[in-house]
Amino acid sequence: MGTVAIKNAYGYTGPELANRAPAGLSLKGVLTALRRAPLALVERVLLWQKRMDERARLGRLDERLLRDMGMSKADAYRETAKPFWRA
């Protein structure tokens, strides 16, 4: 009986894996990602700030306005209780 070669998700086996860079990883790609990282971080922080502001405003609405939006006070509370990083 022969041995069974176990392949990874890309179909490579044993020694082939040692000679293969991870899919999509190149120096150019890494440098591009590093250049974009500061902008991505700023965008993420701005998104979090927007969520915090919107949830704070939602928490200040009265029941009549919430009803107009199809929300109950409990729905508004659940939304305002979410951490800023959770959508």
**12 or 84, greater pLDDT:** 84
The single residue listed with the structure tokens 């000679």 is 19
At residue 19, the pLDDT reads 54
**Per residue in 28-40, pLDDT tens?**
888 888 999 999 9
Could you tell me the residue ranges of all domains in the chain? 14-80
- Following CA atoms 40, 42, 46, 49 in sequence, which dihedral angle do they give, to the nearest 10 degrees? 120
The more confidently predicted of residues 23 and 36 is 36
Q: Which helix (H) or strand (E) holds 82?
A: none
